[in-house]
Amino acid sequence: MSRLKNDTFLRALLRQPTDYTPVWLMRQAGRYLPEYCETRKRAGSFLQLCKSPALACEVTLQPLARYDLDAAILFSDILTVPDAMGLGLYFAEGEGPRFERPLRDEWEIRNLTAPDPHVELQYVMDAVAEIRRALDGSVPLIGFSGSPWTLACYMVEGGSSDDYRRIKTLAYSRPDLLHHILDVTAQAVVKYLNAQIEAGAQAVMVFDSWGGVLSEAAYREFSLRYLQQVIAGLRREYDGHRVPSIVFTKGGGIWLESIAAIGSDAVGLDWTMDIGRARELVGDKVALQGNLDPSILFAPPEVVAGEARKVLDAYGPHAGHVFNLGHGISQYTPPDNVRVLVDTVHEHSRASRAAQENR
């Protein structure tokens, strides 16, 4: 970590002491920033923005130019992997992501293969390398992927879903086929994340955004098991440095202890669980990342600051906290409130550390 000017985020993920609590925000580069909307317009579309390493690099850096964030996250999307598997990703205006060829037939499922990250996904590796150069050691770069279960949801449903009818039908009538999808996807995710690490990602995060729609038994069988497989396949070190991993299951608070046991360095929490209680449940087994409700950013600045302090105080004086939102930042967020949040996290956590030392 010697070449990094600010390695607070990596140290917190490894549960080492830090002078203050590091902060970054899920979806920190996005539509709440007018400069993002401007670059996206120039790119022509969201997908073209993802597929241009130069423009992906430009938008990755935009939130860092405005705010004192402690990490950058690769600008891309979790759905680039199924796109590279041949499903044909597109974004219908105002409707979110869609696939031209969702997985519906047994023969399509049997023909699924893990893409070579250096062929179909080389544009992502180029973006990672370009962002690393542009960051010039200022803060670490996070790489990411969707979890096998969350990717399978989109691949089988063909887009976002309210009820997960198609994938749950598959889970309960042809679990063998779903396990095949998850197995191939887990292999794809491992290769994809390891390629990001080799291209320059200094930490990696796995987004299991839809794990929380499952029953506990189904979560273990269709999501957690494959998360564990992914974590087991990741490079733990690259270029002489530890590469910490973060697993985030939205709605996973009720299974926190099981999630903390799969081998990742950190667990991401949504806003539903008190982070102090989460800390008590996991002890010092993993670092915790979270967990302010993103809707708090719609409130007046003094409320934003007060709620951020509450999360920090709930976590308490232990090492191993990375401050974040409990899910992605909304496109309707006032940009000035993000500054209030980031600065409050830094100031309050510094002051709390100092008060702790003087006791």
Q: List interacting residues with ligand CP3 (CB under 6 A).
A: 26-31, 40, 46, 73, 75, 77-79, 96-97, 144, 160, 207, 209, 328
Is the dihedral angle over the CA atoms 9, 12, 18, 20 positive or is it negative?
positive
Indicate the residue among 80 and 344 with the shorter CB distance to ligand CP3: 80
Q: d(Cα 292, Cα 261) in Å, to the nearest integer?
A: 24
Residue of 20, 32, 36, 154 with catalytic role? 154
Annotation says 31 is catalytic: yes
Annotation says 3 is catalytic: no
Indicate the residue among 150 and 344 with the shorter CB distance to ligand CP3: 150
Q: d(Cα 343, Cα 276) in Å, to the nearest integer?
A: 21
Lookup result for tokens 């920190």? 28
Q: How far is the CB of 70 from ligand CP3 (least distance, A)?
A: 14
Query: CB neighbours of 159 closer than 8 A, spacing ≥ 6?
Result: 95, 96, 97, 98, 99, 102
Indicate the residue among 29 and 171 with the shorter CB distance to ligand CP3: 29
SS3 124: helix
Q: d(Cα 242, Cα 235) in Å, to the nearest integer?
A: 9
Annotation says 174 is catalytic: no
Q: d(Cα 204, Cα 200) in Å, to the nearest integer?
A: 11
Annotation says 154 is catalytic: yes
DSSP annotation of 348: H
Q: How far is the CB of 295 from ligand CP3 (least distance, A)?
A: 14
Q: How far is the CB of 180 from ligand CP3 (least distance, A)?
A: 22
Residue of 20, 36, 70, 77 with catalytic role? 77
Q: How far is the CB of 218 from ligand CP3 (least distance, A)?
A: 19
Tokens of 326: 């409990």
Residue of 11, 15, 27, 279 with catalytic role? 27
Indicate the residue among 255 and 279 with the shorter CB distance to ligand CP3: 255
Angle, helix 165-173 to helix 148-157, in steps of 10 degrees? 110
Indicate the residue among 28 and 337 with the shorter CB distance to ligand CP3: 28
Q: How far is the CB of 353 from ligand CP3 (least distance, A)?
A: 27
Tokens of 322: 């990375």
Annotation says 225 is catalytic: no
Active site residues: 27, 31, 40, 77, 154
